[in-house]
Amino acid sequence: MKYKEYFSETTLNMGSSMIRELVASTKNIPDLISFAGGFPSPKTFPKQELSQIYAEVVAEEGTDVLQYGQSEGDSLLKKEFFRWEGYEDLNDDDALITVGATNGIYYFSRSLLNPGDAIFCEAPSFLGSIVAFEAVGADIRCVSLDDEGLKLDELKSGIEQLKKEGKQAKFIYTIPDFQNPAGTTMSLERRKALLQLCAAEGIVILEDNPYSKLRFSGEHLPSLYRLSKEAGLDIVMEIISFSKILGPGMRLAYAKGHKELIAKMVSWQQKVNVSPDCVTERVVTRYMQKGLLNPHIDNICEYYSPYLQSMLEALERYMPKSVTWTSPEGGIFIWLWLPEKINADEMFHKASQAKVSYIPGSKFYPKGQEKFNCLRLNFSFSSLEQIDRGIKSLAEIIRSYGV
Amino acid sequence: MKYKEYFSETTLNMGSSMIRELVASTKNIPDLISFAGGFPSPKTFPKQELSQIYAEVVAEEGTDVLQYGQSEGDSLLKKEFFRWEGYEDLNDDDALITVGATNGIYYFSRSLLNPGDAIFCEAPSFLGSIVAFEAVGADIRCVSLDDEGLKLDELKSGIEQLKKEGKQAKFIYTIPDFQNPAGTTMSLERRKALLQLCAAEGIVILEDNPYSKLRFSGEHLPSLYRLSKEAGLDIVMEIISFSKILGPGMRLAYAKGHKELIAKMVSWQQKVNVSPDCVTERVVTRYMQKGLLNPHIDNICEYYSPYLQSMLEALERYMPKSVTWTSPEGGIFIWLWLPEKINADEMFHKASQAKVSYIPGSKFYPKGQEKFNCLRLNFSFSSLEQIDRGIKSLAEIIRSYGV
């Protein structure tokens, strides 16, 4: 049987995230210094506490957690989430628990997008989301970033352009805090202006929030969701992932937003996963009930902070003047702009030979809209010594282009 | 913002499984005897063993299982699955681990179906799958069942009919063992004939297998997947769920089939869930490595067998002659045919008042193709005493129609 002839069009057109392929291509290089992945450090995993809680939950609540659970997610866990964030007024139907943030983003896109529908997306942005939008046939319009987040004048031009085409964007996808891959954080002023603009233009905001709790310095900013609620706008769907603050293997995130949209996402969850893993849900509930989450996040921040510092210092020390980079106050990524003539996709192979890896910046743009003189560095996985040595090697490779 | 105007067409057209709504509608009836759900008995959950294994896995392998995992699923777990089933020749890329069987069915459908594509489906069949097929816009053609499984002559006519319409079915969806909702098991002869027919006509088979291990008497039959492999046909995708043999809250299943199709399903998993829960995967791996699974399944069968027996006896004792039912040798469901003039949807409310519930048969047919003089009974959840009392009440209600 020729399976190829059986595949659906969306399946045949589906892009792959390429990051896994890139990471795989360097897998067998001994002593490789990898700035490529987006993996949290396993040293931050609270293994002993979780081990004990898993045992407790299954022994004491096994009758409940090993049985079928709610598609909308465990009410007890949602209650803990609301308490944690200080949303005492939210109810069960204001949120949905998902199998990681990508899962929530998928349900959100599936609930809103017909093939050909226009959306706005920061560029660069998280590849996993871009390919998911592409997979449902979205017409992706890019908005680039400056130090304060996505450029509003570009967004306005984009909206005007769509109007000329007789179209309207359904939503804008943004990662306001320690953006992946850029590392930038949207300023408070920009957040407020974005909300007003989107409210006026009838554009829903999808706020992807995996990193905001990973702030090592500076002041925590309110999420777009919180600002939207305070302004009585109700136009934001915020998705908070537990991958970077607990453990990505547990596949847990939660989405808050308008009840009608949450209800549709729950319908998709029924069809796609039935429910999240009920054991995991109750384990995180207990972890939070025991008051372990916030101290754990403090520990992670304390742990990561020197890695960020040391990568920023190494960049300062070794990079030629023609290279620039973002200076995040948290998260796990730094973004580099190279001189125009350097193609980071090509340079990737040279870097691999020198036993350093990164993700070429082009991978964070929708198809056909790539930029090539840029790259993403992760600082949460390598050792301090590797960071210094790796950045030094990378600088040498860049200098070899005569810049 | 009027969210309704933003929803995608598939979302607006999406059916709901109704079973949850039906079950919810009887939730507050005290002392209700429920034959409605498809829940395994919590008494069969191996809480103590699992509690200990969760603790071990997270403490000893936390670095690994709390980190991001493979989208195609844990290789170690797949190895255990292959050993368990005696497929020593299968490799990692012959299978995919999913977040429950529904998740696998979703990836399978998404990989193959364009809106309007024709598929065959047993009627009645598992509602969760039917709504998932409807959600991707499938043109569902029904094939009814007799005591040996789906009727091949009906399938042949269906194929001829499609040819007249210039169409070809992409796949047929079947639950050969202890079918949900009918309880029937496809005979060996029928399995072989179905395979030959589908191979000749170029139709893929989706074999949903949640119950085959729950056999209380009679002889175990080889799966369509196994027969297909033995015949060198390679046209079957088999999905085995762990919901009924371990615990549905753990959301775990695995799909075996042609490598090309598995690869596409993995691409969908990347976009939809990234990966299954890695803790759960490794817990089931250890559970199997310790040799606990087969003895546990034996215990479940021993536990359920008297419940089936007692429901069959009660039906024999109380039901009027005009009612017929299937006599499964395992699984968790029995199917009843009522006299033509009784509508089981209407009777549902009378039954609720008499504190008995079931699922009306119409819920197991695609929209517009329903039959109403039938219903599904579950025997895995109520006590033996409740089974006798509930069937007696139900028989009285049926007799009240003067049949």
Show residues of chain B in contact with A273, CB under 8 Å. 99-100, 102-103, 251, 273
Q: Which of B245, B261, B289 represents a domain boundary (last residue)?
A: B289
Of A16-20, A25-29, A358-362, B90-94, which range is least confident?
Answer: A16-20
- Please give the residue of chain A at the shortest CA–CA distance from B275: A251
* Angle in degrees, 0-180, between the axes of helices B259-272 and A101-112, rounded to the nearest 10: 90
| Chain A nearest CA to B38, separation (Å) | 9
Query: What's CA B303's distance to the chain center, in Å?
Result: 20
- Please give the residue of chain A at the shortest CA–CA distance from B43: A63
Q: Which residues contact B8 (CB under 8 A, 6 or more apart)?
A: A110, A111, A112, A113, A114, A117
- pLDDT string in tens for chain B (403-residue length): 788 888 888 888 777 666 767 777 777 788 899 999 888 999 999 999 999 999 999 999 999 999 999 999 999 999 999 999 999 899 999 999 999 999 999 999 999 999 999 999 999 999 889 888 988 889 999 999 999 999 999 999 999 999 999 999 999 999 999 999 999 999 999 999 999 999 999 999 999 999 999 999 999 999 999 999 999 999 999 999 999 999 999 999 999 999 999 999 999 999 999 999 999 999 999 999 999 999 999 999 999 999 999 999 999 999 999 999 999 999 999 999 999 999 999 999 999 999 999 999 999 998 888 999 999 999 998 999 999 999 999 999 999 999 8
User: What secondary structure letter does DSSP report for B210?
Assistant: S
* Angle in degrees, 0-180, between the axes of helices B127-135 and B101-112, rounded to the nearest 10: 30
- pLDDT averaged over every residue in chain A: 94
Q: Is the peptide bond before B181 cis (omega within 30 degrees of 0)?
A: yes
**CB distance from A27 to chain B under 8 Å?**
no
Q: Are residues A113 and A148 in the same domain?
A: yes
Q: Are residues B37 and B88 in the same domain?
A: no
Question: Mean pLDDT across the stretch A215-225?
Answer: 97
Taking an 8 Å cut-off on Cβ atoms, the answer to whether A128 and B258 are in contact is: no
Query: B270-289: string of b/e by CB count within 10 Å (b at 16+)?
Result: bbbbbbbbbbbbbbbbbbbe
Q: Are residues B328 and B358 in the same domain?
A: yes
**CB distance from B24 to chain A under 8 Å?**
no
pTM of the model: 0.95
Q: How far apart are CA A267 and CA A100, in angstroms?
A: 17
Written as six digits, the tokens of A33 are 């210094």
Query: What's CA B143's distance to the chain center, in Å?
Result: 17
Show residues of chain B in contact with A51, CB under 8 Å. 54-56, 58-59, 62
**CB distance from A205 to chain B under 8 Å?**
no
User: What secondary structure letter does DSSP report for B30?
Assistant: T
- Integer CA distances (angstroms), B373 to B35, B60, B340, B355, B370, in order: 17, 55, 6, 20, 10
Taking an 8 Å cut-off on Cβ atoms, the answer to whether B271 and A128 are in contact is: yes
> pLDDT grade, residue A13 (50/70/90)?
confident
Taking an 8 Å cut-off on Cβ atoms, the answer to whether B103 and A273 are in contact is: yes
Query: B73-106: string of b/e by CB count within 10 Å (b at 16+)?
Result: bbbbbbbbbbeebebeebebebbbbbbbbbbbbb
A52, A170, A279: residue with CB nearest B6: A170
Q: Are residues B33 and B172 in the same domain?
A: no
Q: How many CB pairs under 8 A join A and B?
A: 257
Interval A296-335: pLDDT, tens:
999 999 999 999 999 999 999 999 999 999 999 999 999 9
Written as six digits, the tokens of B186 are 């496809």
CATH code, domain carrying B139: 3.40.640.10
**CB distance from B274 to chain A under 8 Å?**
yes
Q: Are residues A308 and A394 in the same domain?
A: yes
User: What secondary structure letter does DSSP report for B39?
Assistant: P
- Please give the residue of chain A at the shortest CA–CA distance from B198: A1
- Integer CA distances (angstroms), A322 to A89, A146, B24, B305, in order: 51, 18, 65, 76
**CB distance from B127 to chain A under 8 Å?**
no
Taking an 8 Å cut-off on Cβ atoms, the answer to whether B17 and A102 are in contact is: no
Taking an 8 Å cut-off on Cβ atoms, the answer to whether A272 and B106 are in contact is: yes
% of chain A surpassing 70 pLDDT: 99
Taking an 8 Å cut-off on Cβ atoms, the answer to whether A16 and B103 are in contact is: no
Q: Which of A242, A270, A289 represents a domain boundary (last residue)?
A: A289
Interval B129-150: pLDDT, tens:
988 898 888 999 999 999 999 9
Q: How many domains does chain A have?
A: 2
Q: Are residues B23 and B151 in the same domain?
A: no
**CB distance from B74 to chain A under 8 Å?**
no
Q: Are residues B283 and B337 in the same domain?
A: no
Interval A128-137: pLDDT, tens:
898 889 888 8
Exposed, middle or buried by CB within 10 Å (0-12, 13-18, 19+), for A2? exposed
Question: Mean pLDDT across the stretch A235-242?
Answer: 97
**CB distance from B373 to chain A under 8 Å?**
no
Interface test with B, best of A274, A281, A300, A381 (most B CBs within 10 A): A274
Q: Are residues A284 and A365 in the same domain?
A: no
**CB distance from B167 to chain A under 8 Å?**
no
CATH code, domain carrying A387: 3.90.1150.10
> pLDDT grade, residue A16 (50/70/90)?
low
The domain of A76 spans: 48-289
| Chain B nearest CA to A260, separation (Å) | 7
Report whether A172 contacts A203 (CB < 8 A): yes
Taking an 8 Å cut-off on Cβ atoms, the answer to whether B234 and A1 are in contact is: yes
Q: Which of B289, B305, B333 represents a domain boundary (last residue)?
A: B289
What is the ipTM metric for this complex? 0.94
Q: Are residues A211 and A75 in the same domain?
A: yes
Interface test with A, best of B1, B242, B300 (most A CBs within 10 A): B1
Q: Long-range contacts of range B85-91, CB-CB < 8 Å, 24 or more positions apart?
A: B87/B256, B90/B256
Q: How far apart are CA A370 and CA A130, in angstroms?
A: 12
| Chain A nearest CA to B51, separation (Å) | 4
Residue A252 has pLDDT above 80, yes or no: yes
Q: Are residues B367 and B395 in the same domain?
A: yes
pLDDT at B131: 84
Q: Are residues A185 and A278 in the same domain?
A: yes
Q: Are residues B198 and B269 in the same domain?
A: yes
**CB distance from A137 to chain B under 8 Å?**
no
